């Protein structure tokens, strides 16, 4: 009986050793555009137990990482409203382009890609041990008039152009 128990424990440990651990998983991304082109961006995600522990013990700072990622990708000063172990809420000024022609207002959101994050992760020594999913399950780009563009499981969200109804 003791050998069977020991064998089961060894098999479980072996299974955990060879199975990649799920790390960061993007659940949803919502980009809400204001009439002036500013964007409020909310991302919902799951963190692994180890990542949550690192945040709890202040070994990792999600707010700083989110700010750095959007600062470098948008070339605009980003304001981090809140970051928790499951979400981030930021504001990016002048995120979308706004044009007015003959009284009509057209807004164009830039494309957003998480492919670079995926590539950067591959350069770390622990990359083979984790399985991160940076493609949000659902991405929504919401315009001030209520129009929404939705994308599912896309690592790159394309630019969206919409003429607002008056």
Q: What is the pTM of this model?
A: 0.76
pLDDT value at residue 46: 80
pLDDT value at residue 69: 63
Write down the residue that tokens 């499951």 correspond to: 86
Going from N- to C-terminal start, the domains of the chain cover 18-163
Residue 63: which pLDDT band, with cuts at 50, 70 and 90?
low
Q: Which residue has the higher pLDDT, 42 or 52?
A: 42
42 burial type by CB count under 10 A (0-12 exposed, 13-18 middle, 19+ buried): middle
**pLDDT per position as a tens digit, 109-162:** 998 887 777 676 666 665 565 667 778 899 999 999 999 999 999 988 999 999
pLDDT value at residue 98: 96
pLDDT of 19 over the 50 cut: no
Write down the residue that tokens 């930021």 correspond to: 90
Residue 102: which pLDDT band, with cuts at 50, 70 and 90?
confident
- Would you give the DSSP letter of residue 2? H
64 burial type by CB count under 10 A (0-12 exposed, 13-18 middle, 19+ buried): exposed
CA dist 127 to 23, 65, 130, Å?
A: 10, 18, 6
Residue 91: which pLDDT band, with cuts at 50, 70 and 90?
very high
The phi and psi torsions of 134 (rounded to 5 degrees) equal -85, -10
Separation CA 33–CA 105 (nearest Å): 13
pLDDT value at residue 64: 61
């Amino acid at each position: 009986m003791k050998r069977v128990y020991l064998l089961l424990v060894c098999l479980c440990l072996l299974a955990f050793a060879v199975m990649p651990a799920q790390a960061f998983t993007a659940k949803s991304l919502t980009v809400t555009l204001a009439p002036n082109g500013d964007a409020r961006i909310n991302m919902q995600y799951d963190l692994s137990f180890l990542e949550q522990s690192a945040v709890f013990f202040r070994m990792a700072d999600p707010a700083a990482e989110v700010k750095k990622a959007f600062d470098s990708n948008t070339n605009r000063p980003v304001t981090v409203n809140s970051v928790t172990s499951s979400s981030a809420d930021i504001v990016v000024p002048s995120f979308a382009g706004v044009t007015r022609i003959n009284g009509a207002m057209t807004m164009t959101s830039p494309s957003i890609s998480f492919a670079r994050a995926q590539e950067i992760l591959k350069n770390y020594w622990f990359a083979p041990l984790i399985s991160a999913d940076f493609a949000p399950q659902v991405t929504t780009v919401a315009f001030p008039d209520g129009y929404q563009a939705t994308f599912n499981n896309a690592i790159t969200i394309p630019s969206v152009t919409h003429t607002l109804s008056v």
